Amino acid sequence: MTAKQKSGQRTSARQELKPKSAPRRPPVMSARALAISVLARVEATDAYLNAVLDAALDEFRLADARDVALVTELCYGTARRRLTLDAVLRTVSDRKLEKLEDKVLAALRIGAYQLFFTRVPKHAAVADTVEALDALRLARAQGFVNAVLRKLSALPGLPGVTHADEAVRWAYEESYPEWLVRRWVRQFGPERAHAMLEAGNQSASVVIRANTRRTTRDELCQALLEMGVEVTPTRVSPVGLVLPKVGKLTEVYGYREGLWQVQDEAAQLVGLFASVPPRARVLDVCAAPGGKACHLAESNEVTALDVHAHKLDKIRSEAKRLGLSERLRAQATDASKPLPESLGTFDLVMVDAPCSGLGTLKRHPEIRYRRAEEDLKGLHLLQRQILESAQAVVNPGGLLVYAVCSTDLSEGGDAVEMFLRSHPDFTTESPPTGKIAFPLWQGHLRTLPGSQGWDGFFAARLRRMY
């Protein structure tokens, strides 16, 4: 054996004896630094807050596990109160907020949120927020942020507004664009509108739907209670449970086993409202993210379509976890155009249409700042196009269910009325009488944000007569 071979043998032996390196642990970040990073990214990319926050919590490690709750509160609370916070910040800042770096502006908002909307001591709200900038390599901005937040901390409380116009006051106090406040007051009246504004600023409950292919709600409820998870049944949906704050949902009992899926009670009611008969052929034309498609697949075979091919992987993954893969087929199709003849016709077609999302502001607070009143016209046109495509594949005697996660009448009742005018072969019908006390409005399903804790949804059952 040559010296070179011996040397190589020794090297190989050393490599075998060398212990394997431990998996790289995620870098540690403080709660406020992580919250600043999350809000800055949401602002810069127009991404959804929940998606960015979930990704950040996976990427970074917090010094204290309890800080997950703090990060969540800072992100969602600050996002909900953004308009109010910006109005106050403008009164004390010598720089225009629009000119600031995203992370600097996020730090100011987070600091102001703590000062006016939490019980965090004022000195900690200022000092800890300023310190977080150093961890984010923004030490150059610490003096400015410190000066602004100290001015705010000297105030006795959140400055009020004495404007004579009620809508202007509510827009400031509840942090909503003025156009939306006026629209809700016009559509629902002042009292109901104000209750909706307040509800949108509350923390959203985590609600799950029992997968009836594998369990019942009672069985799942009992199992979770035995695991120490204090769940409560939903008020109207017979398959829903409300979870307490539990940290990562993927670690809660039943997730890996596919016993449940996250879905708000109002969204559950849409699937139940459809009341699909056994063995019916079902089509969901706007299926992403897949909650309603999976719900329907618990009792029927479902074809799930979505225009975004990359979103279908999420639907397939959820179907596999829930044991529904053989009952749910997903494919990329643009439902705003005539559907392929190869699909055939269906006994039930679900149109969970793209919409403004104005019923989900509690879960997606950033939406209120991204929508303009003129957007509703464009969305209404898209909804009409999708309804037109969907109705063409409904069998005679079949059902078309139209749903939106919006409170706006133009996307709900008005859209249905316009559809019926041009399609005399369809008529609206109420759901079958049964044990579920659906919240109905003019025979349609309607949930509004308020004391029930619901998201805002609208759904209509449209029966093809011939």
The domain boundary, picked from 98, 126, 153, lies at 153
- Are residues 76 and 132 located together in one domain of the fold? yes
> With 90 as the cut, is the pLDDT of residue 52 above it?
yes
Residue 208 lies in a domain: no
| pLDDT tens-digit series, residues 182-241 | 999 999 999 999 999 999 999 999 999 999 999 999 999 999 999 999 999 999 999 999
Would residue 75 show up in a list of annotated catalytic residues for this protein?
A: no
Query: Number of helices and strands (H, E) in the chain?
Result: 18, 15
Q: How confident is the model at residue 19 (pLDDT cuts 50, 70, 90)?
A: very low
Domain count, the chain: 3
**Distance between start and end Cα atoms, the chain:** 90
- Are residues 46 and 108 located together in one domain of the fold? yes
pLDDT for 16: 41
Residue 247 lies in a domain: no
- CA-wise closest residue to 187 among 356, 358, 370, 407: 407
Check 75, 294, 355, 405 and give the catalytic one: 405
> With 70 as the cut, is the pLDDT of residue 14 above it?
no
Residue with tokens 């919250």: 35
The domain boundary, picked from 121, 153, 185, lies at 153
- Are residues 117 and 182 located together in one domain of the fold? no
pLDDT for 3: 42
- CA-wise closest residue to 410 among 356, 362, 460, 363: 356
pLDDT for 214: 97
> With 80 as the cut, is the pLDDT of residue 391 above it?
yes
Dihedral pair phi/psi, residue 23, rounded to 5°: -55, 140
- Are residues 302 and 175 located together in one domain of the fold? no
Q: Give the CATH number for residue 79.
A: 1.10.940.10
> With 90 as the cut, is the pLDDT of residue 163 above it?
no
The H-assigned helical ranges of 81-200 are 82-92, 102-117, 122-135, 142-153, 166-174, 178-188, 190-199
The H-assigned helical ranges of 364-409 are 367-370, 375-391
Residue 9 lies in a domain: no
- Are residues 179 and 322 located together in one domain of the fold? no
- Give the mean pLDDT of the chain: 93
> Domain range spanning residue 72?
28-153
Bridge partner list, 206? 243
- Are residues 274 and 415 located together in one domain of the fold? yes
Q: How confident is the model at residue 153 (pLDDT cuts 50, 70, 90)?
A: very high
Q: Give the CATH number for residue 325.
A: 3.40.50.150
pLDDT for 26: 66
pLDDT for 18: 44
- Are residues 56 and 183 located together in one domain of the fold? no
